[in-house]
Amino acid sequence: MVKGTSRRVVVVDSPDPELFEQAIFIVRNDAFSREGVTPEQVVSEACRVARSCAPPRRWRWRELPALCYAALGAGVIGLAWLVAALL
């Protein structure tokens, strides 16, 4: 439904783009008329809420740096060489 009113919104990019692209917050008309409320505070609160609603990030193998893969491969080869030398 489309209304003919003008609204202020804050659009925040999702912290987890696999589920959501953006979060859209509709700001109350009287939000900036209160004392001490700045636009930066409103945006930071919207970012905080968007982060709290996102599921916790899972650890993924793909996020390991290449140096970790190289060290793991060297360790496996070293272990295989040690086992072969002892037998």
* pLDDT band at 49; cut points 50, 70, 90: confident
Please state the domain extents for the chain. 8-86
What mean pLDDT do residues 53-61 have?
70
**71 phi, psi to nearest 5 deg:** -65, -40
The confidence score (pLDDT) of residue 4 equals 63
DSSP, res 2: -
Report whether pLDDT(11) > 90: no
- pLDDT exceeding 90 applies to what percent of the chain? 15
- For residue range 13-47, list pLDDT tens digits in order: 877 777 778 888 888 888 777 777 888 888 888 88
Look at residue 36 and give its three-state secondary structure: coil
The pTM (predicted TM-score) of the whole model is 0.53
